[in-house]
Structure 1
Amino acid sequence: MILTDNYNVEIDEVELWEQYYATRDIQIRNQIIEKYSYLVKIIALKLRGIYQQYGDVDDIVNEGIIALMDVVEKYDITKNTKFETYASIRIKGSIIDYVRKQDWIPRKVKSDYKNIKDAEDKLTNSLGRTPKDDEVAKYLKMDMKDYNQIVNNAFGTSILSFEELIGEANLTETEMSIGYDLPEEEIELKELHKVLIDSVNKLGEKEKLVISLYYKEDLKLKEIADILNISNSRVSQIHTSALQKLEKNIMDYQNDIIEKDKR
């Protein structure tokens, strides 16, 4: 039950939505936003890995609240989709788009890593094989410590980590108890988990191996490079490519849900 300041009476959630749907009253809308603001906080915390190094959590929450306001205004109560499910997808998408637009990855990180990739390509052509890390560093007249630092920085700049992708498909018990307590939401979450697993299985062999060694076996970048007999830089490239493919499949699935709800 929800206590409204305007009418000083208790009304249930359905009636609150019906009143807003009929009147578009701003104060009723604000009550709905306040009720569901916890979704923004949960999603902001789940995605903290993509902004915590450069961005401020308050900015992320504010962006999420703006998205929540838009969702409340556009939500169609005649549809069968639970509001929490619909809102969570839209809020997450809005935050990720916001982070992408900020381009928080320092230009120097991008520039330095591009120099390494260019050097690696040139050496591959001249040597007829993938160069070793020390060969790339020597070609660039770069200290190995600096070389490894650049590669490690680039390795951590993927917009979503695998843990966060997993988080999309596996809610904690707390989250389940707060807003995902109906069978239909559990079915959707299981389907999302299946999409992620299928996406991993569709990756190339080296991409699957890098993902497995890094996230399942908890190996370091250099250890993976030694096992695969490739450079650290190449491992970083494979890792980034794999995460981008997984992220695209997850986002495509979630966008499909939104489009179906509009019909």
Structure 2
Amino acid sequence: MNSNKPYFNEEQIEYFYPIVKRMVRKIVVKMPESYDEEDFVQIGMMGLLKAIDNIDITKDENAFYKYALLKVRGAILDKLRSVDLVSRYTRDKLKSISKAHKDFLKENIFDASEKSVAKKAGISMKEYYKAMFELSNLDIVSLDNIIEDEISLQESIEDKNIKSAIEVIEKNERLGILKKALSKLTKIELDVLSMYYYEDFSVKEIARIIKKTQSRVSQIKINAIIKLKHLIEQEYINRKIN
């Protein structure tokens, strides 16, 4: 650790530990084999230490807090990706499910049932639910990497620093595209995405609030992300044409 930066003391560890633990419980829906919650808490704490090594926490506490949470989340997600929770079988099924959603959206069908999606994807409901279960831990970036479509959902929604008038216009355009895409999701999809990504509720907490099972909430979240990705892609294409 850089000796010119403040040491991470016991009081700070005690402050961040429950925050990191909650983040683990939110992100790691299905614990990988041979890992437990404390393993991921320690991984998150290592991300916190990296944050401290990269920024002076005495200058701007709010900026550090936000930065630290990003590093903690990143460390946890990096570990999940390295464990490679998703089998080739499920990757293939996800691509079929993604294509089915895309086909429905092209037909302006925004609320296709899971049964209809599975049928169009050419898989059974048992295969569908198995894929959803395996995918329950995946974040936006991981889904992007598996689906491998032209437009990155992460790129569309991330908040980047603006350095020029052109970039401001581009950011405003992205926000407009995102808002239009969001307006085409069902209410329950919007509610789940909002609670999970913006209100910081865990899948378990969302399940209790909307009175659904945790597996059902995970299914809604995954389907909503896939649909949102394709809706954003369609809107990009439409704007290029027009």
- TM-score, normalised with respect to structure 2: 0.46
User: Max radius of gyration: which structure?
Assistant: 1
- TM-score, normalised with respect to structure 1: 0.43
